[in-house]
């Protein structure tokens, strides 16, 4: 039986960062189902994608709608959405705001393949419980 790939929606306004995230992920395990460049696009894509993404990686600083607002909107639409905030904003206030908005994990930039894989693995294990 073929292993089901995990569906990932990347929300990131810097093209090099979304490429970096794509390159870090094992294509045998993850399928990138969309890349959104702002919060408005992220919310729209999340609602339109079927089946829903297993995980959303969410940047915080973006035009039009930031990651905190987008996280709140996605969680309002789907309380079971798994969201990992990926941000260079490394203060505890930013992390607290993201977690209060509904984020499940917070990953600081710059990060390593190991950091990313370990957080995604942890969320997938929790989702499968």
Contact 24, 116 (CB under 8 A): yes
Global confidence as pTM: 0.92
Place of tokens 């942890």: 122
Q: If one looks up domain 6-127 in CATH, what number appears?
A: 3.40.50.2300
Band (128; pLDDT cuts 50, 70, 90): confident
* Least trusted range by pLDDT, from 39-53, 62-76, 112-126: 112-126
Residue-range domain boundaries for the chain: 6-127
Q: Which DSSP string do the residues of 22-34 spell out, in sequence order?
A: HHHS-TTTEEEEE
For residue range 72-93, what is the model confidence (pLDDT) as tens digits? 999 999 999 999 999 988 788 9
């Amino acid at each position: 039986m073929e292993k089901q790939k995990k569906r990932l929606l990347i929300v990131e306004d810097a093209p090099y960062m979304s490429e970096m995230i794509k390159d870090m992920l094992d294509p045998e395990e993850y399928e990138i189902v969309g890349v959104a460049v702002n919060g408005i696009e992220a919310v729209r894509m999340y609602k339109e994608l079927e089946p829903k993404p297993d995980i959303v990686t969410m940047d915080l600083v973006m035009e039009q709608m930031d990651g905190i607002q987008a996280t709140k909107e996605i969680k309002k639409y789907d309380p079971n959405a798994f969201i990992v905030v990926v941000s260079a904003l490394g203060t505890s206030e930013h992390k607290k705001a993201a977690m209060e908005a509904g984020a499940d994990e917070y990953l600081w930039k710059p990060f390593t393949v190991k950091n990313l894989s370990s957080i995604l693995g942890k969320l997938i294990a929790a989702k499968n419980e």
